[in-house]
A and B are shown apart, each in its own frame.
Chain A
Amino acid sequence: MTPPDVALAPPRPGPLPSLVKYARIFRVALIERMTYRSDFLLGTILRFLPIVTTVLLWRAIYEGSGQAELGGFNYREMIAYLLLTNISRMFSSMPGLAGGIAREVREGTLKRYLIQPLDLLGYLLSSRVAHKVAYITMSFLPYAGLFYLCRGYFDGFPDPLQMLAFVVSLVLAFVVGFYFEASVGMVGFWFLEVTSVLYIVMTLNFFISGHMLPLDLLPQPWSGLLKVLPFQYMAYFPAVVFQGKVRGTELLLHLALELFWAVAFAVLARTLYRAGLKRYSAFGG
């Protein structure tokens, strides 16, 4: 027999209910994402335009140069690379994440995370995973079609082990991207207006992550420098893993480094969040 006062006390949330909680957030975010289907579809179609123009631009560049290889990439590898960076970005780009955090701080709505048994980063992470799942599922068919059409640019699938490394690098790219953007968003605790700073970071990231061109094309010391920085894991690295340009111990080393950056940004985001909460004064809301 349990004493009555123990029975009346609210049950401590175990790991399972907590998991259910975040699974519910996932579900709600997924439904929200699917509400504006036609707009989503138009956006997905438009997303292919830059891919087409990029392929054409690089064809013109290779034809103009009269060379078979630029920076260690032949034309087919270059197009394959640029297509693959779209997959990397699909995982690592976090539109609206940092801006959203900064807005919660500025408008004071952040306090709902402080008075509810809900962790801000946990909430954002599970809703972001939902958005990514919706986005990747919705664009799976168009992307499959695109890759099928562009199959001539690829030398078939890499071997299973390499494929596994590719998947791991993509998942880590998501984590790196998420916590990197979250860390940038946490700057909102110190500066009220971060959208402009955000634009600078994102613009720069577009180039230094290797989304525009393989980092190998840049002259030294730039290419070496950019390969040391964590940004390459958000676009360049998964792509070259798929292409088999990084192998063996180098591959393992870079995967370990990617994991390191994922953890480092996670710790950074948490630390900034804690430090930020000390300053937070819950204006508005």
Chain B
Amino acid sequence: MVAGVARYARMMGGLARYTLAREMAFRGNFLVKVSVELLWMGILVAFYRVVFAKTSTIAGWSEPDYFFFVGCFFAINGLIETLFLENCNEFAELVRTGDLDFLLLKPIDEQFLISCRKIDWGTAPNLLMGAILMAVALVQKGWTFDPGRVAAFVVTFACGVAIAYSFMMMLTSVSVWMVRNQSLMEMWWLFSSLVRYPREIFSGRGAEMLGRFFTFVVPILLVSNVPADVMVRVLDPGMIAWTVAVAAASLWVSRRFFHVALRSYRSASS
């Protein structure tokens, strides 16, 4: 078990070095990619600055709290994009062309190889940008250091990444049956629109049910909400426990789902 973990950690390190070397071969492209992310963050900040010029709270979130949430979302999303999105995006093409055979034949876990093959270093600075936004928001809020909250944040942040990864894995697996022609990137962008806003906006008739649905049945809302909540709003142990449980369960379910999908892979046209 320990040897296995060490082996995969080593492999991950090797892949990280290799992809970084490739990325640095095209430094200009890397810089442009980073500037796109910076621009996107700038647009988000501009958007919410415009909105907060007209109001003082959104769904009970004050401006600094809200910006902390945005930073948290940005960091989680950045991590997902850096580690998994590009890989999952290529999966449909691997299925369609039958090139998936070559990956399945390798003596490594299929899910690891398919979802962690490449690291997209261009989006890695998003983690830093998100962290800076979170730090600025905390300073503006006048937040006092609380180790309990920080620990809860770190745990739920990791759980958020795990939950988002699981959902992405399931969305990816579906392409075995569907033979995708739309990009997973776009699908993911649409789906992750649920993660982008605080859970509290789901209020009023109908919406409340929808909010509960996406918290307890398809618990995608937990991803950026719970870490932001425990850090700047309420520290709810029940919610933390639920998030940890969901993270573990969704990892397991998505892995099973992925294997079921692989069984339907027909290795056509290879």
Q: Is the CB of B29 within 8 A of A61?
A: no
Q: Chain A contacts of B29 at CB under 8 A?
A: 193, 196
Interface residues of B in 56-71 (CB under 8 A from A): 56-59
Partner of A39, one of B58, B181, B193: B181
Q: Chain A contacts of B35 at CB under 8 A?
A: 200
Q: Is B36 an interface residue (CB 8 A)?
A: yes
**Most chain A CB within a 10 A radius of its CB, from B26, B46, B200:** B46
Partner of A203, one of B39, B54, B186, B204: B39
Q: How far is the CA of A53 from the CA of B191 in the complex (A)?
A: 11
Q: Is A35 an interface residue (CB 8 A)?
A: yes
Further 8 A-B residue pairs, CB within 8 A, beyond A43-B187, A193-B26: A39-B175, A56-B201, A59-B203, A61-B51, A65-B54, A66-B55, A197-B32, A200-B35
- If A50-B190, A204-B39 touch, whether A196 touches B33 (CB-CB below 8 Å) is yes
Q: Which residues of B contact A (CB under 8 A)?
A: 26, 29, 32-33, 35-36, 39-40, 43, 46-47, 50-51, 53-59, 174-175, 177-182, 186-187, 190-191, 193-194, 196-197, 200-204, 207, 210
**Most chain B CB within a 10 A radius of its CB, from A40, A49, A60, A95:** A60
Q: Is the CB of A52 within 8 A of B210?
A: yes
Q: Chain B contacts of A49 at CB under 8 A?
A: 190-191, 193-194
Sorted from nearest, which 5 A-B pairs have the closest CB atoms? A65-B55, A196-B32, A60-B59, A50-B193, A46-B190
- If A65-B54, A199-B36, A203-B40 touch, whether A42 touches B193 (CB-CB below 8 Å) is no
Question: B197 to chain A: closest CB distance in Å?
Answer: 5
Q: Is the CB of A47 within 8 A of B190?
A: yes
Question: B35 to chain A: closest CB distance in Å?
Answer: 7
Q: Is the CB of A59 within 8 A of B50?
A: no
Q: Is the CB of B50 within 8 A of A218?
A: yes
Question: B142 to chain A: closest CB distance in Å?
Answer: 21
Q: Is the CB of B58 within 8 A of A64?
A: yes
Q: Is the CB of A59 within 8 A of B201?
A: yes
Q: Chain A contacts of B50 at CB under 8 A?
A: 213, 217-219
Interface residues of A in 218-271 (CB under 8 A from B): 218-219
Q: Is the CB of B181 within 8 A of A53?
A: no
Q: How far is the CA of A59 from the CA of B58 in the complex (A)?
A: 9
A-B contact pairs, 15 of them (CB 8 A): A38-B178, A40-B181, A52-B210, A59-B203, A59-B204, A61-B55, A63-B59, A64-B55, A193-B29, A196-B29, A199-B32, A199-B36, A203-B36, A203-B39, A207-B43
What's the A-B contact tally at a CB cutoff of 8 Å? 109
Question: B125 to chain A: closest CB distance in Å?
Answer: 14
Interface residues of A in 53-95 (CB under 8 A from B): 53, 56-57, 59-67, 70-71, 95
Q: Is A206 an interface residue (CB 8 A)?
A: yes
- If A47-B190, A197-B32 touch, whether A57 touches B58 (CB-CB below 8 Å) is yes
Partner of A70, one of B54, B191, B193: B54
Q: Is A36 an interface residue (CB 8 A)?
A: yes
Question: A156 to chain B: closest CB distance in Å?
Answer: 23
Q: Is the CB of B197 within 8 A of A53?
A: yes
Q: Chain A contacts of B55 at CB under 8 A?
A: 61-62, 64-67
- If A60-B203, A207-B47 touch, whether A42 touches B187 (CB-CB below 8 Å) is yes
Question: A190 to chain B: closest CB distance in Å?
Answer: 14
Partner of A36, one of B33, B181, B201: B181
